[in-house]
Amino acid sequence: MAVTPRAVAHPPGGTPFQPYFICIKCFILSPEGSESGACGVLHHTLDGTRRDPLFGCGMIRPPVGINILDRHRDSDEGPIRTDCRLSDPHTGRRCDMSAQAKELVRAHLAHADGEQEMTLEQREFYRERIKEKLQARDAVMVAHYYTDPEIQALAEETGGCVADSLEMARFGKEHPANTLIVAGVRFMGETAKILSPEKRVFMPTLEATCSLDIGCPEDEFAAFCEQHPDRTVVVYANTSAAVKARADWVVTSSIAVELIEYLDQRGEKILWAPDQHLGAYVRDKTGADVLCWDGACIVHEEFKARGVEELKAVHPGAAVLVHPESPASVVAIADVVGSTSQLIKAATEMPNDTFIVATDKGIFYKMQQLAPEKTFIEAPTAGSGATCRSCAHCPWMAMNGLENTLAVLQDENGCGQEIFVDPDLARRAMVPLDRMLDFGKSLKR
């Protein structure tokens, strides 16, 4: 019995064996060949040549890459079976699905279908097994503030770290464990491996990527750099190892303004990639000559200035905290603009008792932990101009779960989710990464 793909405004027909794409951001299915999903997003570009207008970031591949070939039940009572394939995130071409990828799709669909989440007992079971395995494998968890609260809690309880991308890089390098479990997105795992080549670095899933990374392919970026040989190349940490290897500097949002100020004072003109909003923000703050690549974060791009203002009218005493990957109109009405760690610091130190927060909602775990008496409200992403069922949560960060973390730890080879970086690439990427760490240290950050 065929199961109609999740209720959507553009039912794709539900015909068995018709290929579908599912958007991991909004969980909407689109039939293969259709131009856009119900959310108005161009979900896929099978020929790999079309530019995706949503992202405006040069992204020519689907942000998604999951083809649902069929969903059916063998009997009325039977479980839903999903037959699907993935697209290779690097080429946009189809590839066979690994068991892990199938598991991911299953988890996404379960979420989309509103299936029951894990019970408390199941969670406890996973948490205990993960703790045992971390010890047994001399491994430590390095998690980002955007991962789900249970992942952050586990990292903290087991002597790992929960941090922004700069601190994650530092922690992984300095920690004595010989294995790192990086719960975040791909560029964070790659950075950890480049900085600690002697360690084994695993991620709960290598499928977890980032729209900024995807939107800045190395070949196109190299051509862009070649057009501007007079500029110092500064890339955001949210890039592949290959893009970093092409850069003079790597930077994270916590030190971006200071670094551009420093380079500007040395009379350097900047080529900045990939986030156009962060690039525009640093240009605005420093007055430096900054030429930007036009990438964007699919999560932060959704925040709406009008929505924030309306919320502010309801909570006049609230302070507005904004990550600089957000659009300029949202940045303009912020009380504090900063990296994840800077926003957390502001939330704890400012006297306000209410905060409107324009960044991934994973950050609420740490804010609430450090300031339990304060109220944190998500900045709106829906409403006029919204491109889909936005949720202020990075779909790739959300792929880090208890089940895949345990699976990776249980298998000697981490179910194939180990990070490897070509040694020559790593050697070249290490140069701008080291400069970033040294510069951060000089700022005492």
Residue ranges in contact with ligand 13P by CB under 6 A: 164-165, 238, 252-254, 297, 325, 339-340
Do residues 242 and 425 make contact, with C-beta atoms less than 8 angstroms apart?
Answer: yes
Strands of 179-252 (E only): list them. 179-183, 200-202, 232-236, 249-251
Do residues 146 and 152 make contact, with C-beta atoms less than 8 angstroms apart?
Answer: no
Pick between residue 109 and residue 278 the one whose CB is nearest to ligand SF4: 278
* Helix (H/G/I), strand (E/B), else coil: 5: coil
In the chain, helix, strand, coil percent, each to 5? 40, 15, 45
Which residues, 6 or more positions from 127, have their beta carbon under 8 angstroms from its beta carbon?
Answer: 150, 154, 402
DSSP 191-203: HHHHH-TTSEEE-
Q: Closest separation between CB of residue 325 and ligand SF4, Å?
A: 6
Pick between residue 245 and residue 394 the one whose CB is nearest to ligand SF4: 394
| Contact window for ligand SF4 (CB under 6 A) among 17-25, 89-97, 110-118, 293-301 | 293-301
Q: Closest separation between CB of residue 146 and ligand SF4, Å?
A: 6
Q: Is 264 in the site for ligand SF4 (CB under 6 A)?
A: no
Number of residues that bind ligand SF4 (CB under 6 A): 14
Q: Pick one of ligand SF4, ligand 13P, none as the site partner of residue 177 (Cβ within 5 to 8 A by kind).
A: none
DSSP 21-87: EE-TTT--EEETT-S--TTS-----TTS-S--TTT-SS--S-S--EEEEEEEESSSSSPEEEEEEEE
Rounded Cα gap, residues 204 and 209, in angstroms: 12
Q: Is 426 in the site for ligand SF4 (CB under 6 A)?
A: no
Angle between helix 402-410 and helix 99-112 axes, rounded to 10 deg: 170
Pick between residue 211 and residue 417 the one whose CB is nearest to ligand 13P: 211
Among 68, 273, 282, 297, binds ligand SF4 (CB under 6 A): 297
Q: Closest separation between CB of residue 69 and ligand 13P, Å?
A: 32
Pick between residue 270 and residue 297 the one whose CB is nearest to ligand SF4: 297
Rounded Cα gap, residues 202 and 225, in angstroms: 32
Q: Closest separation between CB of residue 340 and ligand 13P, Å?
A: 4
Rounded Cα gap, residues 84 and 105, in angstroms: 8
- Please give the residues from 190 up to 219 whose contact with ligand SF4 meets the rule CB under 6 A: 210-212
Among 251, 394, 409, 436, binds ligand SF4 (CB under 6 A): 394
Q: Is 379 in the site for ligand SF4 (CB under 6 A)?
A: no
Q: Pick one of ligand SF4, ligand 13P, none as the site partner of residue 396 (Cβ within 5 to 8 A by kind).
A: ligand SF4
Q: Closest separation between CB of residue 367 and ligand 13P, Å?
A: 14
Do residues 73 and 3 make contact, with C-beta atoms less than 8 angstroms apart?
Answer: yes
| Contact window for ligand SF4 (CB under 6 A) among 53-61, 130-138, 375-383, 393-401 | 393-401
Among 67, 100, 205, 238, binds ligand SF4 (CB under 6 A): 238
Provide long-range contacts, Cβ within 8 A and 24+ apart, for 372-380: 374/347, 376/347, 377/311, 377/315, 377/318, 379/303, 379/304, 379/307, 379/308, 379/311, 379/320, 379/322, 379/330, 380/303, 380/304, 380/307, 380/308, 380/310, 380/311
The distance in angstroms from the start CA to the end CA of the chain is: 58
Rounded to the nearest 5°, which phi and psi values hold at 7?
A: -50, 120
Q: Is 278 in the site for ligand SF4 (CB under 6 A)?
A: no
- Please give the residues from 395 up to 414 whose contact with ligand SF4 meets the rule CB under 6 A: 396-397
| Contact window for ligand SF4 (CB under 6 A) among 87-95, 346-354, 390-398, 421-429 | 390-398
Q: Pick one of ligand SF4, ligand 13P, none as the site partner of residue 298 (Cβ within 5 to 8 A by kind).
A: ligand SF4
- Please give the residues from 353 up to 372 whose contact with ligand SF4 meets the rule CB under 6 A: 360
Do residues 440 and 250 make contact, with C-beta atoms less than 8 angstroms apart?
Answer: no
Q: Closest separation between CB of residue 217 and ligand 13P, Å?
A: 18
| Contact window for ligand SF4 (CB under 6 A) among 74-82, 222-230, 295-303, 428-436 | 295-303
Residue ranges in contact with ligand SF4 by CB under 6 A: 146, 185, 210-212, 238, 297-299, 325, 360, 394, 396-397
